[in-house]
Structure 1
């Protein structure tokens, strides 16, 4: 049975022998003229879902993308495959923009990436009319479609105007794609983009190659240092912080410790941001310390870890940020530390914001879901998927809770002591002060407020400081306590606390583990699973050096030449000819012609 045109193009141009998941169904649906909404996790192969049908159909494919960096990356990668792709955005000088425009009008461009702001101008829409008449428009692809939703975390108002595409070009198929969208966001994408008749393709949101770990803050920098030294000494990664100041301080500290770390946040000069982003994309082993301003559209496949030194704002944010690790399918880590201070800070920020009450309530629910995830004793993969209305078949053995099951204990009595202490001290003090009361510490502040005379003074000496901190953190996470904005983050009771205080209900708490480190055996197994000892193989280093040399010559990121997964296959298969090289996944016809001999020379040198 002969291969379909889509299959032939997949093999010849992209170098892959088979489609993944729902890719083939999506490609065939859009190539035949159908509209589609595609929800697929980061690293799941979304780009192929519009690139292939655009190449299969006549005319130019128009891709709406919100970020300059993403456009540049995608165009670089497509040109390496022999596809005539281009972009139009504010980064181009007038001469280059004019040359691109003329090539577009001559029908020489197969895929054009454009920002929504430019696409929506009257002059560009007129240009699209001319193109449709002269050479045809293959499709409209709307990437990062969650930007359309006011409830999403990357809201872009101009995305809502993209309904004009269907109104003005009703016969051109549209495909909207996103890597993360809960049900309300998904519904809004459908409504705002007029995709009610579009076929929906929802892939599993599971990222089985990511190992999730959550630990309590106890000197976060020291914890980060230990994590990186033990598991990611030479790897590229991202460290997320909540504030710009913390980003800069953390990056400076990491540089002092010898890490190749860079800072990125919206307050930095645009030229510095651009230079740092370019270094992260084009060099090996660079760590980006950033706020959430960094990440969307970053296509670097070999990010081996994402670390959070502060709580993200929601499960969607956490999922998307951690999803930037391991896009190549190889093992990666999502590591996070948090504490009670994070919970209080996030809730203060939310309460103090100018957002409407309806939005505040929704954001509070999202934060509560994230806190529930942090405190959960269940499989992390299961908890994440359940949030996205998907079931996970069983324990993943790819998270801290599965690898090291957490003990629970009956915390009812301790919780009542804590809640009673909050009530009797006036519901306006923070956890540190309350713990001093429970432990019977007559500090200056405890004495000043005469809290050493309270009935709760000294009643909690059966637990230590760390255990009480855990009790308060879990009571806040579970909604029994909340931060009082007017009392500068002091804790107060919620309605949920009453039945617990009255003895009408019980509560079980997680017993905090002493450490979140992997054992030496687990680290060795993980390393072996990922690279089968490749890092110690001189040939692996030589292949990477050749890739870097070629990338620098062309001023593109190394992964645009070959992904790590392709290099690993070359290392393990050791092809001896161009024919054998062509069978390596990710080596299409254009790349074989361009790079085949160069990598064969490296292999021959080591075979002598």
Structure 2
């Protein structure tokens, strides 16, 4: 048989040898055994069923959820054979005569592979026809669609077993590129093939570099800067919404990057065109929803950026797995903010309860991955049920946490605490309830089991819930506890965990990344690697200069440049007026008016301290906002009531004020005296003007405190706009 196998491999595919587990899988199928294959994308999954189908008598049925993918595969098989009918697609896109042609080829024994969508296989006429034909086996591709725990659940997949039984008692081959133990068990049960030979390839993509950065309001700049450093290389940027896809694609184009958008809202022709341009390298970057990349086999994608965090680690693994298929390095960069998780949770709110539970459990794994400071590859592989040696494993240093390791501390006692609490609560709680028990947070569930009355309730309240959650994640990976598969998420002790209770030893815990939002919506993280350190020495020099300039011109320092602008200068080191005008909150007007002294100081500082400046770029906006700015300037000049300006642009009043603040803070004059005169008399205006002249800062909260209810937020903000426009610009 071996000779035949290799001859067939050479004859049909032109290969001299198999890759990885392929040979074992093919033999299992040739021996008519149920077979289950878990093999990461790019591992050569399709050959596993194509080769035996070409060698066996009869027609193999391949069930696949994606029409585009079927078409690609059918074209590929037809390309290696003289007979056009060797492979066919049977789905809703065929007309009557095409369907008859397919049937004729099957009857005549010409067709070796018949690709069907699960929806088509349910049709009675097809089932009746296939019953009477010689079927060699049924292959179910993307088998994770069967499991509601899979990231791509399709209810019509659940009936496949019954239909296969109707057609013929033939062996079944399930294939998937991502499956946790929970999903594997689900697939085997649902397909009634618990006796299957299971082949599982390693999920380690050693050539991929994993990095998570905090998502701040400067994300567009961050993406442009990253892509510019990879000039001429192919990459994908994934976004959750179609709107965001189009925005980011536009921003990239405006900034000289050859990018195209892709999502399901485009017509088929546009989608195909954009996909082909990417494959043919007429475009470098595709900005896409996850609808993109299914069946895209571009080997040299060098980076995958997640603008939004995915719903599950399976999705994340699949999407990042589109990078570096040729074995060269791929950079997987993900932007993370807990706000995005909350957004995804909102989307789930109107789903059935069972689905919500699954969704929440999957999301928590994503949070764990993003916030962990341990080896990301180890964390990811553990999720797929694979051990990884973070010292000698292949690709062990290929992630941000390993390049910038975080502090570790001894947590032997705390590990003991977690294990005892899990044991003493009879191993019936999920991680969240274990943490609530340790920190002493009461809720209905804990009360109903009388856990709140136990002596260990609140035993670890000196540390917060995040600390204990981080520790639990690290204990899961260290195999001291495990999540139950049947009642998914319930934490149980492992053998090693029970042994640890008897005989504790050192456990070095790495501190998690802490992402917490600041007032202005940006994110501070306590990790060195993810935010470039601000240059404190330069900041204090710039603040001194700001004071001098303010004194000379008789205006408060903040009227010259606000703090966020000073901080941004210490990050970007601008040394020309053009560069200065790209700094946060500084427009051309401000740069021209005050900039000269500042860029001279920075230029001197850069030379004296031998600083390598970031090749920071002028991020051009797509012009959406500049249109709005122009509209506001023109209509305040025409003295149009502010309410009318806001209404005509669909803005709330506070949103309009925000836009006006952005205009005057970056140095452009704006005359809103007419609007203020309706609100405040002359004395009141003077009182507020004097306050701003004397004040240390222009923070509205400070002004509210100072006036103690005499003026409201809106009045003070409008006066600050007038003040900045009159005094600073």
TM-score tier after normalising by the smaller chain length: 0.5 to 0.7
Aligned in 2, Cα 1:375/1:177: closer, same or farther, shift over 3 Å?
same
Aligned in 2, Cα 1:181/1:278: closer, same or farther, shift over 3 Å?
same
- Give, in angstroms, the shift of residue 402 of structure 1: 5.7
SS in 1 for 2:388: coil
8 Å CA contact 1:406, 1:513 repeated in 2: no
8 Å CA contact 1:35, 1:174 repeated in 2: yes
Q: Does 1:110 align with 2:106?
A: no
Aligned twin of 2:527: 512
- Aligned 1:35-50 pairs, distance under 5 A: 35-50=34-49
Question: Matched residues in 1 for 2:26 and 2:278: separation?
Answer: 32
Aligned twin of 2:339: 341
8 Å CA contact 1:262, 1:288 repeated in 2: yes
Aligned in 2, Cα 1:148/1:282: closer, same or farther, shift over 3 Å?
farther
Q: Does 1:58 align with 2:60?
A: no
Aligned twin of 1:266: 264
Question: Matched residues in 2 for 1:291 and 1:500: separation?
Answer: 40
Superposition TM-score, scaled by structure 2 size: 0.55
Unaligned runs of 5+ in 1: 413-474, 483-494, 518-608
8 Å CA contact 1:68, 1:91 repeated in 2: no
8 Å CA contact 1:212, 1:398 repeated in 2: no
8 Å CA contact 1:377, 1:405 repeated in 2: no
Aligned twin of 1:441: none
8 Å CA contact 1:40, 1:205 repeated in 2: yes
Question: Matched residues in 2 for 1:497 and 1:251: separation?
Answer: 48
Aligned in 2, Cα 1:360/1:23: closer, same or farther, shift over 3 Å?
same
- Aligned 1:72-111 pairs, distance under 5 A: 72-82=71-81, 84-111=86-113
Aligned in 2, Cα 1:21/1:516: closer, same or farther, shift over 3 Å?
farther
Question: Matched residues in 2 for 1:281 and 1:31: separation?
Answer: 35
Question: Matched residues in 2 for 1:316 and 1:516: separation?
Answer: 28
Aligned twin of 1:155: 153
8 Å CA contact 2:40, 2:201 repeated in 1: yes
Cα distance per residue 1:153-188 (max 9 Å; x no partner) = 211111111113441244422101001111221111
Question: Matched residues in 1 for 2:16 and 2:462: separation?
Answer: 61
Runs of 4+ aligned residues of structure 1 deviating over 6 Å after TM superposition are: 504-507
Moved more, 338-347 or 202-211: 338-347
Cα distance per residue 1:46-68 (max 9 Å; x no partner) = 11110111112111221111111
Matching residue within 313, 316, 329 for 2:314 = 316
Aligned twin of 2:353: 357
Q: Does 1:30 align with 2:55?
A: no
Q: Does 1:211 align with 2:209?
A: yes
Cα distance per residue 1:423-456 (max 9 Å; x no partner) = xxxxxxxxxxxxxxxxxxxxxxxxxxxxxxxxxx
Aligned in 2, Cα 1:498/1:403: closer, same or farther, shift over 3 Å?
closer
Question: Matched residues in 2 for 1:372 and 1:408: separation?
Answer: 18
Matching residue within 295, 299, 307 for 2:297 = 299
**Greater relative contact order, per chain length (Cα 8 Å cut-off, separation 6+):** 1
Question: Matched residues in 2 for 1:359 and 1:235: separation?
Answer: 39
Question: Matched residues in 1 for 2:71 and 2:464: separation?
Answer: 59
Aligned twin of 1:500: 463
Aligned in 2, Cα 1:258/1:197: closer, same or farther, shift over 3 Å?
same
Aligned twin of 2:507: none
8 Å CA contact 1:236, 1:284 repeated in 2: no
Cα distance per residue 1:5-53 (max 9 Å; x no partner) = 1222222321222212221111001011111111111111111110111
Q: Does 1:125 align with 2:140?
A: no
8 Å CA contact 1:213, 1:516 repeated in 2: no
8 Å CA contact 1:254, 1:261 repeated in 2: yes
Cα distance per residue 1:114-154 (max 9 Å; x no partner) = 1111122111112212322xxxx222111001111122221
- Give, in angstroms, the shift of residue 274 of structure 1: 4.2
SS in 1 for 2:311: coil
Cα distance per residue 1:375-403 (max 9 Å; x no partner) = 22222211100111210123434523365
8 Å CA contact 1:73, 1:299 repeated in 2: no
Say which one has the larger Rg: 2
- Aligned 1:190-339 pairs, distance under 5 A: 190-218=188-216, 219-231=218-230, 233-281=231-279, 283=281, 285-339=283-337
8 Å CA contact 1:61, 1:140 repeated in 2: yes
Aligned twin of 1:388: 384
Cα distance per residue 1:547-589 (max 9 Å; x no partner) = xxxxxxxxxxxxxxxxxxxxxxxxxxxxxxxxxxxxxxxxxxx
Question: Matched residues in 1 for 2:459 and 2:57: separation?
Answer: 61
Matching residue within 325, 349, 371 for 2:367 = 371
Aligned in 2, Cα 1:241/1:408: closer, same or farther, shift over 3 Å?
same
SS in 2 for 1:298: coil
Aligned in 2, Cα 1:369/1:172: closer, same or farther, shift over 3 Å?
same
Superposition TM-score, scaled by structure 1 size: 0.65
8 Å CA contact 2:377, 2:399 repeated in 1: no
Give the aligned CA root-mean-square deviation in angstroms: 3.3
Matching residue within 167, 181, 184 for 1:183 = 181
Aligned twin of 1:144: 142
Aligned twin of 2:14: 15
8 Å CA contact 1:409, 1:509 repeated in 2: no
- Give, in angstroms, the shift of residue 95 of structure 1: 4.7
Aligned in 2, Cα 1:209/1:80: closer, same or farther, shift over 3 Å?
farther
Cα distance per residue 1:84-135 (max 9 Å; x no partner) = 3222233345554443333233222221211111122111112212322xxx
Q: Does 1:405 align with 2:368?
A: no
- Give, in angstroms, the shift of residue 309 of structure 1: 0.6
Q: How many residues align?
A: 433
8 Å CA contact 1:75, 1:87 repeated in 2: yes
SS in 2 for 1:131: coil
Question: Matched residues in 1 for 2:459 and 2:286: separation?
Answer: 41
- Give, in angstroms, the shift of residue 229 of structure 1: 1.9
Question: Matched residues in 2 for 1:379 and 1:268: separation?
Answer: 39
Question: Matched residues in 2 for 1:118 and 1:150: separation?
Answer: 21
Question: Matched residues in 1 for 2:45 and 2:11: separation?
Answer: 19
- Give, in angstroms, the shift of residue 241 of structure 1: 0.8
Aligned twin of 1:428: none
Question: Matched residues in 1 for 2:234 and 2:114: separation?
Answer: 30
Unaligned runs of 5+ in 2: 412-431, 442-457, 472-509, 514-525, 533-729
Question: Matched residues in 2 for 1:397 and 1:247: separation?
Answer: 33
8 Å CA contact 1:116, 1:159 repeated in 2: yes
Question: Matched residues in 2 for 1:276 and 1:92: separation?
Answer: 25
